[in-house]
Amino acid sequence: MTQTLLLLPGDGIGPEVLAEARRVAEAVAPDLAFEEALVGGASIDAHDIPLTDDVLAQAKTSDAVLLGAVGGPKWEATDRDKRPEAGLLGLRKGLDVFANLRPAFCFPSLVAASSLKPELVAGLDIMIVRELTSGVYFGAPRGVEPGVKGYDTSIYTADEVERVARVAFEIARGRDGRVCSVEKSNVMETGLFWRQQVTKVHGVHGSGVELSHMYADACAMELVRQPKQFDVILAGNLFGDILSDEAAMLTGSIGMLPSASLGSAGTPGLFEPVHGSAPDIAGQGVANPCAAILSMEMALRWSLGRGDAANAVFEAVSKALEGGARTKDLGGSLSTREMGDLILSGL
């Protein structure tokens, strides 16, 4: 049966980087059916809302969804539920992709591009498992009373912690077997509950996995002090968001970091770069397409059951980088298209 890959280019550099990911996908998986739809600001401009029911339905029936990025200054003034970011959150929630995998992998040829000393990042390979559909991002009540107060609710249920913890343990078993769970149990009740629940789930589903715990602030510090101490980092929605941007810089550039958001077995995953729409460079054709191409690689691997094609893409990116291919963020001068060309020629 034909597999469908739904492309949601979105805003800013989203369409620029996704065009390269599509070219690479067409080369390694020509039998895929490609569909394209609007999300984020692009959807607001066309339909007044950042995610239509039709597009969500289309996403649910595809085999994998590849998103570029959403957001930008043009839509900042709108109400929160009509902003581009709400479309992305709605997509994550609607697809119930609760486990967000963000691999911080430092390609050997990019060791010098990191802002840390080469010896700290050479061989770096961390997997951040971020809970993606709950926590303070979605908790109610929330609101702003102008001039009076602003508030959010941080909440995690037992099931929500259990299902993402199990994913982290499972992934760790295929790696170095170590999970570091991160929260602020010293000051937050959700943090305390998170730690208790992860410990409990580890007792039942954690065989072969070594579990440790760390406060999120300490983890932020350890990530730049001794990043290679980590194998899998398990975190809630907000801390996972922050720590993955921090981890991105260990790999040389945020333009390198892909992600996979997975739900329960048999449902389509959502794949997207960790970076945003980069309004400061949008339209210039200079964005690094590697994060988008590697997100597509993760789609091939995690949702489409095409490990061989995924390996070929990973090797091609690695080879291009080894050959010196660099966009501006990596200290080079290649355009987005030229970077895509070099990766394609290495396939």
Site map (CB under 6 A) of ligand IPM, residues 192-231, x = contact: ----------------------------------------
**By CB under 6 A, residue 152 contacts ligand IPM:** no
Question: Per rule CB under 6 A, is residue 36 in the interface with ligand IPM?
Answer: no
User: Looking at 116-124, 165-173, 183-191, 276-284, which segment touches ligand NAD (CB under 6 A)?
Assistant: 276-284
Q: Which residues of 258-296 are buried (b: 16+ CB within 10 A; e: fewer)?
A: bbbbbbeeeebbbbbbbbbbbbebbeeebbbbbbbbbbb
Helix (H) or strand (E) holding 235: strand 232-235
Residue 215 annotated to the active site = no
Task: Answer for the pair 310, 318: CB distance below 8 angstroms, yes or no.
Answer: no
* Catalytic status, residue 228: no
> Do 212 and 180 form a contact (C-beta atoms < 8 A)?
yes
Which one from 63, 156, 184, 329 is the annotated catalytic residue?
Answer: 184
**How far does Cα 242 stand from its chain's mean position?**
12
Does position 246 interact with ligand IPM (CB under 6 A)? The reply is no
Task: Catalytic residue, from 125, 245, 319, 341: name it.
Answer: 245
Q: Which one of 85, 125, 152, 315 is in contact with ligand IPM (CB under 6 A)?
A: 85
Residue 107 identity = F
- Return the amino acid letter for 267: T
> In this chain, which of 8, 24, 38, 88 binds ligand IPM, going by CB under 6 A?
88
Q: Which is nearer to ligand NAD, 119 or 280 (CB)?
A: 280
Among 274, 281, 293, 325, binds ligand IPM (CB under 6 A): 274
Residue 152 catalytic?
Answer: no
Q: Bridge-partner residues for 7, per DSSP?
A: 36, 66
Name which of 237, 270, 239, 240 is nearest 137 in CA terms: 237
Residues annotated catalytic, as ranges: 137, 184, 217, 241, 245
Q: Where along the sequence are the contacts to ligand NAD (CB under 6 A)?
A: 13, 17, 69-72, 85, 88, 254-255, 272, 275-281, 287-288, 291, 329
